[in-house]
Amino acid sequence: MRLIPSLQLAFASLKAHKMRSALTMLGIIIGVASVITMVSIGQGARDKIDSEIRAMGTNLMMIFPSGGRGPVRSADSATPLLDRDAEAIKKRISGVVAAAPVRFGSGQIVTSGKNWESQLYGTNNDYLIARNWVVADGRQFQPLEERSAAKVVLIGESVRKELFPNGGAIGSTIRVNRTPMQVIGVLASKGSGSGQQDEDNVLIVPLKTAQSRLMGSGDRIAGEVHAIFLKTSSQDIMASVQGQVEDLMRERKRTPESADSPVRIGNLTEMMALRTATTRTMTALLGAIASVALVVGGIGIMNIMLVSVTERTREIGLRMAVGARPEDIMSQFLTESALLSLVGGLIGVVLSLLLVVAISMTGAFDISLNLQIVAVSLFFAGLVGIVFGYYPARKAARLNPIEALRYD
């Protein structure tokens, strides 16, 4: 028997039991829709991390004093980092493209009746290199401004939007923590602000300006910074650079071999890779759970096909009596179960597309549809139909025509 009559036969038989076919398909529909939706959610999380990595800056390393945790200093903080350490790292370790000493703080901005709070970084132009950040409008700091603690500021896109919605930011004066500062540039948007923190709500001033004018009070050592941001020329040398930085800092802070390292080095790419791996595991897990639904759907198909074989025993006997070979009967039932699961799979794909659109509209998850997974799950739906249809089909094909004809 050839494909077209097989398909016609299968369609006719599924149409004859519409309710039953629909319910059987439901298992596959749910299976396929959940596989696609779950994997799309996992994929969305991964894509988000990718974009975060890109926004954060590639080949980025962050050095903190080991006593403190990031910008928060513990009471008996170990040897603080100094801006000179950044210079030394850049000079003495090859492969370091940028080394930016950074002070973190917050800036209260007041301008013509508006009040706005944003993150404040005191650093130098290297910070922009390390973070892959460009000045969209205006210019970077000039060496003289960095040395002389000039009252100049670069503002992030969110700050511009808030304070200068109609443009005209460059050259304006804003009061940051009561100090009047001149806006010399607007940073390009990082655009990754879909989470906890708005990266674009930022003010960047020269390090010296921050230390002497905005937040330097209470320092134990002049020139203290909270962190140093490093960018290496390539991903491959990051590990060796990390070792060299540690050695250099031991030397500069006069830390004995036996003592803990004076600095804590965060390798951002590594952290992100770890998170990526975690999400990948999550995606696999979600996919696996969803596949269970697909398998359960397959069991439903097997169940209904067994019922169908029993119900149609006499029909099978008749078909055999008029010349159907066992393989004809086999292919008839296999076609039926494969069709059942494929149609269910297609409906599942449509359903998952609707779900993905709906979820992305509510914004509950980052979701990105992967066409590959659509193809894969359709393929598996068809496979489920054939695998779970095989036993009932074989049962039908092995019927003895004499007994089948007499069956009632």
Kindly list the residues in this chain that would bind other proteins in the complex (CB under 8 A).
1-2, 5, 9, 12, 16, 314-315, 317-328, 401-402, 405
Name the minimum Å distance from CB 37 to other proteins: 37
- Binning the chain into helix, strand and coil, the percentages to the nearest 5 are 55, 20, 25
Instruction: Give 86 or 320: the residue with its C-beta nearer to other proteins.
Output: 320
User: Per the structure block, which two tokens stand in for 148?
Assistant: 């002389």
Instruction: Give 139 or 398: the residue with its C-beta nearer to other proteins.
Output: 398
CA distance 117 to 336: 65
Name the minimum Å distance from CB 346 to other proteins: 25
User: Per the structure block, which two tokens stand in for 402?
Assistant: 């004499």
Positive or negative: CA dihedral 292, 295, 301, 305: negative
CA distance 263 to 78: 9
User: Per the structure block, which two tokens stand in for 149?
Assistant: 């603690």
Name the minimum Å distance from CB 347 to other proteins: 24
CA distance 393 to 388: 9
Name the minimum Å distance from CB 22 to other proteins: 18
Pairing outcome for strands 224-225 and 81-82: antiparallel
CA distance 269 to 332: 55
Instruction: Give 286 or 404: the residue with its C-beta nearer to other proteins.
Output: 404
Instruction: Give 3 or 75: the residue with its C-beta nearer to other proteins.
Output: 3
CA distance 63 to 227: 5
Rounded to whole angstroms, what are the CA distances from 222 to 70, 101, 219, 373? 19, 13, 6, 57
Name the minimum Å distance from CB 324 to other proteins: 5
Please, what is the end-to-end C-alpha distance for the chain in angstroms? 27
Instruction: Give 9 or 36: the residue with its C-beta nearer to other proteins.
Output: 9
Name the minimum Å distance from CB 3 to other proteins: 11
User: Per the structure block, which two tokens stand in for 217?
Assistant: 């009070």
Instruction: Give 324 or 367: the residue with its C-beta nearer to other proteins.
Output: 324
Name the minimum Å distance from CB 304 to other proteins: 18
Name the minimum Å distance from CB 336 to other proteins: 14
Lookup result for tokens 């494969």 = 338
Name the minimum Å distance from CB 403 to other proteins: 10
All residues at 6 or more sequence positions from 356 whose CB lies less than 8 Å from its CB, including other chains: 36, 37, 40, 367, 369
Instruction: Give 120 or 316: the residue with its C-beta nearer to other proteins.
Output: 316
Element (H, E) at 1: none
CA distance 320 to 343: 28
Instruction: Give 270 or 328: the residue with its C-beta nearer to other proteins.
Output: 328
Instruction: Give 16 or 354: the residue with its C-beta nearer to other proteins.
Output: 16
Three-state SS for 174?
strand
